[in-house]
Homo-oligomer: A and B are copies of this chain.
């Protein structure tokens, strides 16, 4: 990581002053940009999947570890779907999984700092949605 999250915030604050989002371009090689581009696309694909945002929002709301059944009953989704989402989110390092060998067995999921670093972006998206007042977003 670079000099910490403060420089990221600074870059974010500068925002649209000069152009339309090629703040990553110019100082990075084409391959670098392509790799980051793919990463962002993959992330958006994951976030776009059913219930992923809802799951993350539950974690942002509770700001503490959650158990499988808690999320399941909070969202009302089938266990296999929830299991897949949790696997994906732990695989990308957005959630951690802690299993305790107890009876009854207990497994706790918690949001990582990666996820916490991502939450502000959701805030920016919410700002965007609010300021532009979309109403035709339904396909």
B-binding residues in A (CB < 8 A): 1-2, 4-6, 8-9, 11-13, 15-16, 18-25, 36-37, 39-49, 53-54, 57-58, 60-61, 63, 74-76, 88, 91-93, 111, 114, 116-134, 136-139
Is the pair A11, B123 in contact by a Cβ cutoff of 8 Å? yes
How many Å lie between the Cα of A21 and that of B125 in the bound state?
11
How many whole Å from A117's CB to the nearest CB in chain B?
A: 6
Please pick, from B24, B47, B74, B123, the residue contacting A9 in the complex, using a CB distance under 8 A: B123
In the docked arrangement, what's the CA distance between A92 and B134, Å? Answer: 7
Number of copies: 2
Question: What residues on B are CB-neighbors of A6 within 8 Å?
Answer: 18
Q: Besides A15-B60, A16-B123, 19 other CB < 8 A contacts?
A: A1-B76, A1-B133, A5-B18, A5-B131, A8-B131, A11-B63, A16-B119, A16-B120, A19-B124, A20-B116, A22-B127, A36-B129, A40-B125, A42-B139, A43-B125, A93-B132, A114-B132, A117-B131, A121-B124
The 4 A-B pairs of least Cβ separation, nearest first, read: A48-B48, A21-B119, A39-B129, A45-B48
